[in-house]
Every structure is written in C-alpha cells, then in structure tokens.
C-alpha cells in the first residue's frame, strides 16, 4: 500500500499468500508480515531494495 493522504491509499502490488489467512500483522521495524492461518503463522520478509 502507498499512502497518498490520511484517507487515500493505493495498492502497489498483490502478494501471494496461503489460502485462508485470516489475520495480518506488519512489523514496521524489521519489515516482516505475519499472517495467521488455522493455528500456524506464516512469516513473509520484505524484498531488499523494494
């Protein structure tokens, strides 16, 4: 997501994740995304230079 103003966002690109993920948390300090999926957690790393 790219924030253009306090109430206006734009999707930069879609990312493939496991089907059925129901909760998402972003750690802005280490650039990780955590997605809960039926008792397990998938962790996605940021792509360097992006």
In a domain, 23, yes or no: yes
For residues 46 and 48, which has the higher predicted lDDT (pLDDT)?
Answer: 46
The whole-number pLDDT of residue 49 equals 62
Q: What is the pLDDT of residues 1-41, one digit of tens each?
A: 677 888 888 887 777 777 777 788 888 888 888 888 777 88
In a domain, 42, yes or no: yes
Separation CA 23–CA 11 (nearest Å): 18
In a domain, 11, yes or no: no
In a domain, 26, yes or no: yes
pLDDT of 50 over the 70 cut: no
Backbone torsions φ then ψ of 32, nearest 5 degrees: -115, 150
Separation CA 39–CA 50 (nearest Å): 30
The whole-number pLDDT of residue 32 equals 87
In a domain, 4, yes or no: no
The encoded tokens of residue 1 equal 């997501």
In a domain, 7, yes or no: no
Q: Is 17 helix (H, G, I), strand (E, B) or coil?
A: coil
The encoded tokens of residue 24 equal 């998402």
Residues 11 and 3: beta-carbon distance below 8 Å: no
């Amino acid at each position: 997501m790219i924030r253009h103003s306090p109430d206006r966002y734009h999707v930069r690109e879609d990312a493939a994740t496991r089907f059925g993920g129901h909760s998402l948390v972003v750690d802005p300090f280490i650039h990780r995304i955590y997605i809960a999926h039926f008792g397990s957690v998938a962790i996605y790393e940021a792509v360097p230079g992006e």
